[in-house]
Structure 1
């Protein structure tokens, strides 16, 4: 009797990380099943892929959750009450910018860049976790600015929503600059200038 060879195996967590880099670099729509299989490697077949992950969509959802629980931790400062509101915002901006520019993974932020180009009623749910993550980041900035007003750091008539959106829009805009290989030092200088908006809103 001919002995059957041992089935090919792969490290599932490593496969998630490999898929993450592909989705992060290309986005959901532009990433094909064949590219995912090639990225994961180890001779994984279509049946093996579906057995392991269910579908491209399900794999994407796992990838997003892994990203949020790892790389997205750079925004945790927004929820740290041990920091002053200003420190929390600046630390988040600088840590996220450093992460988006570092080597070893695609540049930019997957939460900002991994969305589908034209979501429809049928597939908009695929991008929902990223939409939720962006909303949470904005909520964190808003929380910090409101905390600044409540604690007396900022003027009572500060436009909390406008200032929060300014910080959040800047953060997600960093993704484009990082993809264009902007120097980290230049982006940090931009953060220094941006934080002057906080100074302008401070009570004298």
Structure 2
């Protein structure tokens, strides 16, 4: 009896289940991803989902962490590039690559999940707003470092540059979701960086 109270050990691969949930949220957005879609894709019951991951919102937050470590890792990795121009290139190229991978939904999970959110998903939309703002803040901080080191003009508008790049990346995601090819989006990146440094 004591064993049954503690419950049986988990009989599924939590990481694999999260990866499957990631694809569902990425393809359908936060509100479009129903619990039925999620549990069927994950191959588990709702009870198991709640026990392992919490409610739908908690599951999404765990999925977002997986995305940050996987397809979305370019956001954090780009700021490690040695020059401001290479940071910008890595950030935008990363957005193109993440949004045009074979076998995965097109576009960015964070952008797609937030595009169609009603009242029930406001807390998730707020999380995604903060998540995207953090990316912009990381870029702004890196470009300020570049300006301080002479890699950008001392009077460079680092806030505008960071906002410009995140706006282009969001646009890349929307275009990718609409069917734009990787080659076409790489051309957009080339044009976006023609007049570097910006401003």
Aligned ranges for residues 26-105 of structure 1 at < 5 Å?
26-41=28-43, 44-80=44-80, 83-105=82-104
Aligned-residue offset at 1:89 = 1.2
What corresponds to 2:157 in structure 1?
159
Instruction: Tell me the distance in 1 between the aligned counterparts of 2:26 and 2:117.
Output: 17
Aligned-residue offset at 1:117 = 2.9
Instruction: Tell me the distance in 1 between the aligned counterparts of 2:121 and 2:174.
Output: 25
Q: Any gaps of 5 or more consecutive residues in structure 1?
A: 1-5
Aligned length: 192
> Alpha-carbon deviations, 1:79-100, whole Å to 9, x = none?
31x5111111111211221121
Instruction: Tell me the distance in 1 between the aligned counterparts of 2:165 and 2:46.
Output: 43
Q: Is the 8 A contact 1:100 1:107 kept in 2?
A: yes
Aligned-residue offset at 1:199 = 4.0
What corresponds to 2:185 in structure 1?
187
What corresponds to 1:24 in structure 2?
26
Instruction: Tell me the distance in 2 between the aligned counterparts of 1:192 and 1:17.
Output: 32
Moved more, 54-63 or 20-29: 54-63
Aligned-residue offset at 1:119 = 5.2
Q: Is the 8 A contact 1:149 1:158 kept in 2?
A: yes
Instruction: Tell me the distance in 2 between the aligned counterparts of 1:75 and 1:155.
Output: 23
Aligned-residue offset at 1:160 = 2.4
> Alpha-carbon deviations, 1:116-155, whole Å to 9, x = none?
63454x7533334322221121112212332333233433
Aligned-residue offset at 1:176 = 0.9
Aligned-residue offset at 1:52 = 2.4
| Aligned-partner SS, 2:30 | coil
Q: Is the 8 A contact 2:72 2:98 kept in 1?
A: no
> Alpha-carbon deviations, 1:104-124, whole Å to 9, x = none?
21111112221263454x753
What's the RMSD between the two structures over aligned residues? 2.4
Between structures 1 and 2, the one with greater helix share: 2
What corresponds to 2:3 in structure 1?
none
Moved more, 172-181 or 152-161: 152-161
* TM-score where L is the length of structure 1: 0.82
